[in-house]
Structure formats: C-alpha cells, structure tokens
Amino acid sequence: MDQSTLPTPPFPSRLPKVGTTVFTVMSELAGQHQAINLGQGFPDFPCDRDLISEVNTAMMSDRNQYPPMIGISELRHGISDKISTLYGHHYDPDSEITITAGGTQGIMTAILSCVSPGDEVIIIEPAYDSYRPSIDLAGGTTIAVSLITNRDQHNQVDSYAIPWEAIASAISTKTRLIIINTPHNPTGMVWQADDLDRLAQLLQNTNALVLSDEVYEHMVYDGLCHQSVARHPALASRSFLISSFGKTYHVTGWKVGYVAAPANMMREFRKIHQFNVFTVNTPMQYGISSYLKEASHYLELAAFYQTKRAYFQAGLKKTKFKLLPAPGTYFQCVDYTGLEIPQSTLSEFDFCTWLTKIVGVAAIPVSTFYDKPIESGVIRFCFAKQEQTPSNALQRLQTL
C-alpha cells in the first residue's frame, strides 16, 4: 500500500520526519529488479549448526517460558567473563548486564533511561539511523557533528577523521549523553586508544554520559584491537556499552544483544526495559549461553571477515570505484565520482537507485546517514556474504 495515500492519523505524530528506512527501500528495490543485495547489512550464509543445535536442545528441554527480566544468569555471567577477558573490566552479571532484544532496543532503552526534555545528546554523523528517533522520543535535542571528510588531489573522499574540535564545542551544561560507534557504521573506521583518552579528557569535568555502540566489536582487521569503553576505566564508569549476538554469530534475525553499564545506570535502564520488551527469547538465550563457552568463534571472526574483505576489495580494484579504508565492520565504502559514466554526477540516492535497477547491484547511500543529506559521492556495500554473491556482484560492477 502507498503510505502517502493513508489518511492523517487522529493524533500528532511522535516522529513526524520519519518514513521508511533506506534499507527497506533498497532491499525492496533489489527484490523488484532481481538485483544482488549488498545494501542491507546481513549475512546470506548460515550460522554454525552447533548454535542451532544448542537452541533446539533448549526448546526440547522446555526452556520456553518467560526468563528473568534481566536475562538468564548463565548468559549474563558468560558476557561478564568475555568482557573481562577481552577488555579487562569486570561488570557484575547481576547488577550491571541486561540481555536485550538486539542492539537497537538496547540503544533506545539506554537513551530513554537517561535523556529528558531539555537534555542534549551529541551524535557523530554519518550515524546509525536509530539514534536520532530515539532521542526525539525521549524529548531530547540532537546535536550532530560530522566526521571530518578528507579528500585527495582529485577531490575524491580519502578517509574520515573524528571531529574533535566540533565535539568539544558541542559539549555544554545541557549535554546529557554522547553517542559513539566503533567500529563505525557506515564508514568502517575504528577508534584508537588515544581517541578514548581524548574523549575522557573532554568529559572529565562534565556530567555527560556515553553510549558506546560496539555491535561490530569482533570485526576489526589488520592486527588492530577493538578499543571498547570497557578498556578505559574513566569512560566505563559513565558508559552504556551496547553489543549484539546477531552480528557476532550471523543470526541478525534472532535480535539478541546486551547492555553493560555501572549498577546505578543499569538500575534506571532496567526500569525502562521491563516495560519496553520485558525480556528476551528464552531458548535463544540458553543456546547462545552454551555456545558462548566456546570462544573460538568470536576470536576467529576478524580473520573470517578479513578474508571476505580481501576478496571483495580485490574485485573492486578492477573497477574505477575508489576504495576507502575499511579497518572494521563488514562494510566497504567507495567513492563513485571517478567513474567515467554520466551517472557519476548523480546524488548518492539516485546513483544507488540506478545501480540497483540497471546494473543489478544494491548499495546504500552514505548521505542518508545524515539528518540533512551531505552529498560526498560515497556509497556502502556489505561484504558479509558467501563468495558467490560478491563474485556475481563484482562481475556486474566491473562493467562500469
């Protein structure tokens, strides 16, 4: 149904500027034109059958009723052990960790728990599209700063950098929260240890909290380490840490994630959580809990995706797309403005539409990750695919 033909609802919209997401639009367009979907960020290969077996065992063992509101104890303890082992910070599994219905629910609940009308929340654009609507629903004001876009001698995008001066200028007595995202969706950039130090210095004499979106924490490449806020005591003491099993275990449709935070912050988080979703799918929790005891999967994930990235990048180098650095996530951004075709002057959205309809490959325009689209000629591909998928896509892209 064409949503524009529906009558106006008999109440004011809580999100008047929100429409259908670009991910839905491009995925539907890909389906209509039999295009290869490298737009929406999901794997097209199966998860480990052992994980399915663990969930099935839980179901057949009648683990099918409500679990505790905060999540089953076994999973919370497993998460606590994992964070402690990887990042050196202990979160109490009873008072500082809550299982959520995916990372997005964790983000919204964290924002609703601490942001009130009149509060300001700093986000760094391009930003994941759930941040701003969640702030709006909480009655807060979004203060957006943009990543610095570095360009080469041909005026093509070369890389992105954290806008420290803009962040410092944006912090005020009204700042309740700053949202950071590393590894970063959509650009793939990752924060370094000195970046966390700099953020901690900026916040040292403020009451501002941090929401650290780390759902791609195990997808960091080239020998780099993920710099979680859990590694930094000064930040850990004021941060909500968000992560997702959907991304880590190739089960995005299960919608299971978690939030870790100091007990005084988690207490308020759980007040919202219990009336938001109350709790999360029971057999999935038990299955993930058992599977989490075998750490080899997430410890090997970076090497697994680095191989996929290398294959995809090698194919893209045979095109006139300019590849941007992709040190994290399972996304590869490219600048298309150097293509020697008339469509290279199109807006990012129009270029992605043309690419989907005519070339048969769906991508996501990076401009849509800004509130007011900034056109830089950069689009995002997802390489979390079985090899045949990017192989077929690359054959099509190499014709440009």
pLDDT digits (tens, 9 = 90+) for 50-70: 999 999 999 999 999 999 999
Q: Which residue has the tokens 């892209």?
A: 397
12-50 pLDDT, tens per residue? 889 888 887 888 889 999 999 999 999 988 899 999 999
Of 348, 344, 310, the residue nearest 326 (C-alpha):
310
pLDDT of residue 5: 65
Residue 106 near residue 320, CB atoms below 8 Å: no
Over its C-alpha atoms, the chain yields an Rg (Å, rounded) of 21
At residue 194, the pLDDT reads 97
First to last CA, the chain: 35
Domains and CATH numbers, the chain: 3-47+301-397 (3.90.1150.10), 49-296 (3.40.640.10)
Tell me what pLDDT residue 391 has.
Answer: 97
pLDDT of residue 20: 79
Distance between alpha carbon 352 and the CA centroid of its chain, in Å? 21
Q: What is the pLDDT of residue 3?
A: 58
Report, as ranges of residue numbers, the positions in the chain whose pLDDT lies below 50.
Answer: 1
DSSP 70: T
Q: Identify the pLDDT of residue 4.
A: 57
| CA contacts within 13 A on the Cβ side of 306 | 13
